[in-house]
Amino acid sequence: MTDPARLVEETARRLVAEHPPATTPPAAFLGARFDAGLAWVHFPPGLGGLGVAAGLQGVADAVVAAAGGPDPFDLNPMGYGMAAPTLLAHGSAALHERLLRPLYTCEEIWCQLFSEPGAGSDLAGLATRAVRTADGWLATGQKVWTSKAHEARWALLLARTDPDVPKHKGLTYFVLDMHDPGVEVRPLRQLTGDAEFNEVWLRDAGLDDAWRLGEVGAGWRVAMTTLMNERNAIGGGSIVRGTGSIGDALALWRDQPEPRDPVLRDRLVSLFARADALRLTGVRHAAGRGDAPAGPLGSLGKLVGAELNQAVYEFCVDTLGMAGTRHPGYDIDPGADPAARESLTWKLLRSRANTIEGGTAEVLRGVLAERVLGLPGDLRADKDRPWREVPRG
């Protein structure tokens, strides 16, 4: 019997040999990778996987990264990290066949319609309604902070279908067509000068019941699949030592003239140690997880990684000195030169969102305290009251 790790590595090496990333268009390369079973190695054969342990994904990723292959998480983060595992766990076979491959090739971008103006950290308190009709459902409401909504073909939508039960029990989860005429996307300008976040208005947007994920009223359980995978995807860290945000800091330091500031050098050493500890923790977590679904421990990597990113880019801008006060990004629009987004000042400003997106640092500390350490939970006075009776601002 072939060793699974060897199977994954040999398959990955054959992929990059037959489809060299330097000369293969990204969508074609990703399509070949999906067909080879290296998209998510723990998925079933035919659906982008090989049916092996999830911890072996890093073996494939390392081979492809060394060859310069495209990263689908960078191109389609909500699709790759959140929609795909949710679809596999709760979607029908027809949805698997229709959605997974173009999701992975990034020909169809995804977004996540969860947060609302009055329901961010308290996601279960959301007010967007989905009402049954003879042909399916109609959704009405407002979502906010939706990354990639201006590019997305599909959305993961959590909506309230029963206001007369407690808030966690009256939610249902759908796949929404972002091209529906009832969907309006409005960009939100952010600190960087860019507009990657959006608010989304739904006005009787149509929902096909065949594209519902999970049972009616079971949306909270489905949403937990999405959120656990989101935090694992964001907090997994780089599999290659000295890459990611800490790689930016190391490259900057190498370019500094002598003599280098010893205080900054000590900061860099400390940041590198933290980054490598995060990387090794991610490797250990992936290996120990086996075939189990993503769980609350993934919140640790997301929490630590978000705070580390902020510290790394603060170090970078301090190292730049006066040059770190210049930021070209305030004229950026979605079609602008992407080089402006590669500046260290842009990355510093963008990193401020890291401790908010995908669950705030405060929420993640609560998840780790209650679900990993077993500490008593916060008082939740509205937990058992019908949603309709809960006061809202």
pLDDT for position 329? 55
Residues 268 and 199 in one domain: no
Distance CA(97)–CA(300), nearest Å, equals 33
Q: Do 230 and 271 share a domain, yes or no?
A: yes
Q: In this structure, are 209 and 240 located in the same domain?
A: no
What's at 56, amino acid-wise? L
Residue position matching structure tokens 């990193």? 351
Contacts of 11 (CB under 8 A, 6+ apart): 36, 37, 38, 50, 60
Asked whether 73 and 81 are in contact (CB, 8 A), the reply is yes
Q: What is the CATH number of the domain that holds 219?
A: 2.40.110.10
Does 230 participate in catalysis according to the annotation?
yes
Same domain assignment for residues 174 and 309: no
Q: Going residue by residue through the chain (393 aa), what tens digit of pLDDT does each one get?
A: 579 999 999 999 999 999 999 999 999 999 999 999 999 999 999 999 999 998 899 899 999 999 999 999 989 999 999 999 999 999 999 999 999 999 999 999 999 999 999 888 889 999 999 999 999 999 999 999 999 999 999 999 999 999 999 999 999 999 999 999 999 999 998 888 888 889 999 999 999 999 999 999 999 999 999 988 877 776 655 667 888 899 999 999 999 988 899 999 999 999 999 999 998 888 787 766 666 666 677 788 888 999 999 999 999 999 999 888 877 655 545 454 555 556 898 899 989 988 888 778 888 898 888 888 889 887 777 878 899 988 876
| Residue 217, token pair as written in the block | 């009223």
Q: Is residue 384 part of a domain?
A: no
> Is position 340 within any domain?
yes
Distance separating alpha carbons of residues 104 and 110, to the nearest angstrom? 10
Record the tokens describing residue 18, joined without a space.
Answer: 């037959």
For residues 34 and 278, give the distance between their C-alpha atoms in angstroms, rounded to a whole number. Answer: 28
186: three-class secondary structure by DSSP: strand
Residue owning tokens 């929902």: 207
Instruction: List residues bridging with 76 in a β-sheet.
Output: none
Please report whether residue 86 resides in a domain.
no
- CATH number of the domain at 289, please: 1.20.140.10
Beta bridge partners of 49: 45
Instruction: Answer yes or no: do 238 and 342 share one domain.
Output: yes
Residue 312 domain-assigned (yes or no): yes
Asked whether residue 43 is assigned to any structural domain, the reply reads yes
Assess contact for 126 and 158: CB atoms under 8 A: yes
In a domain, 120, yes or no: yes
Q: In the chain, at which residue ranges do the beta strands (DSSP E only) sit?
A: 110-113, 129-133, 136-144, 154-160, 171-177, 183-188, 197-207, 212-213
d(C-alpha 228, C-alpha 363), whole Å: 13
The number of helix segments (H) and strand segments (E) in the chain equals 13, 8
Question: How far is 85 from 374, CA to CA, in rounded Å?
Answer: 26
Whether residue 193 is found in the same domain as residue 245: no
Q: So what's the pLDDT on residue 239?
A: 64
Task: State how far the alpha carbon of 79 is from the alpha carbons of 93, 112, 118, in Å.
Answer: 18, 9, 25
Q: Residue 190: which domain range? A: 110-223
As a whole number of angstroms, the distance between CA 302 and CA 353 comes to: 12
Same domain, 176 and 305: no
> Which domain-ending residue is among 196, 223, 250?
223
Domain final position from 223, 247, 272 = 223
Name the token pair of 317. Answer: 């801008």
CB 53 within 8 A of CB 4: yes
Residues 124 and 217 in one domain: yes
* Domain termination residue (choose one: 192, 223, 254): 223
Q: Is 301 helix (H, G, I), strand (E, B) or coil?
A: helix
Rounded Cα distance, 235 and 305, in Å = 6
Contacts of residue 198, defined as CB under 8 A and 6 or more positions apart, other chains included, come to: 144, 145, 146, 147, 149, 150, 185, 186, 187, 188
Per annotation, catalytic residue among 116, 196, 199, 230: 230
310 and 235 co-located in one domain: yes
Q: For the chain, give the number of residues.
A: 393
Token pair recorded at residue 66: 């060394």
- In sequence order, what are the residues at sequence separation of 6 or more whose Cβ sits closer than 8 angstroms to the Cβ of residue 136? 206, 207, 208, 209
- Note the pLDDT of residue 5: 93
Examine the domain organization and report whether 236 and 156 are in the same domain. Answer: no
Q: What is the pLDDT of residue 291?
A: 60
| DSSP calls for 216-250 | TTBHHHHHHHHHHHHHHHHHT--SSTT-THHHHHH
**Inside any domain, residue 96:** no
Cis peptide upstream of residue 386 (ω within 30 degrees of 0):
no
pLDDT of residue 194: 82
**Domain-located, residue 63:** yes
Q: Domain count of the chain? A: 3
Q: Domain check: are 261 and 349 in the same one?
A: yes
The amino acid at residue 203 is R
193 and 207 belong to one structural domain: yes
